[in-house]
Amino acid sequence: MCEANAYLKHGNEETLFMEAIDIIEPYEDGLKLVDIFGRQKFVKARIKDMTLLSHRILLEPTVEPAAPEPQIQT
Amino acid sequence: MCEANAYLKHGNEETLFMEAIDIIEPYEDGLKLVDIFGRQKFVKARIKDMTLLSHRILLEPTVEPAAPEPQIQT
């Protein structure tokens, strides 16, 4: 079987996000991932690197952690 | 082996662009594809759909065919 695992990159760390992925599609501002059992996950990320022979997809979040809102002076 | 073939979508037609792909990486405004023999191709396209179990990557060109340049009147 040629499914792959997706990892999310946060700085220098990579965490397993989803296993046994079959389908990858762009979806709005992120990706839709579907595993071999038909389960779907949506993630606001883009593909940073993919090596099919290693069954490995590395994702990079497109959304940065929320920053504090700037104070607006009126 | 879990390599995949990439097809380029032009309207309703799909043409085989590259076979036996191992690595897919974003590169500038397109993608870098590397096959299992280490051969590289660059394409100004984005991933439209990928099904790993079918060994199939569908690419969509990001660059439209060049339009005639507008006439500038001075």
Lowest-pLDDT range of A26-35, B25-34, B62-71: B62-71
**Residue A9 lies inside a defined structural domain of this protein:** yes
**Residue B14 lies inside a defined structural domain of this protein:** yes
Selected residue of B50, B51, B55, B56 to mutate for chain A interface (largest A Cβ count, 10 A): B50
**Residue A48 lies inside a defined structural domain of this protein:** yes
What residue numbers bound the domain in which A20 lies?
4-56
A58 touches chain B (CB under 8 A): no
CA distance A47 to chain B (A): 7
Per-residue confidence (pLDDT) for residue B65, from 0 to 100: 59
Residue A6 burial (C-beta neighbours within 10 Å; 0-12, 13-18, 19+) = buried
Domain count within chain B? 1
Between CA A57 and CA B68 the distance in angstroms is: 40
B22 touches chain A (CB under 8 A): yes
**Residue B66 lies inside a defined structural domain of this protein:** no
Per-residue confidence (pLDDT) for residue B68, from 0 to 100: 66
**Residue B70 lies inside a defined structural domain of this protein:** no
CA distance A64 to chain B (A): 19
Tokens of A67: 């920053």
Picking from B10, B14, B21, B5, the residue whose alpha carbon sits closest to that of residue B63 is: B10
Confidence class for position B71, pLDDT limits 50, 70, 90: confident
Closest CB from A1, A50, A51 relative to B53: A1
**Residue B30 lies inside a defined structural domain of this protein:** yes
Proportion of chain B above pLDDT 90, given as a percent: 80
Nearest chain A alpha carbon to B36:
A53
Between CA B56 and CA B48 the distance in angstroms is: 11
ipTM above 0.85, yes or no: no
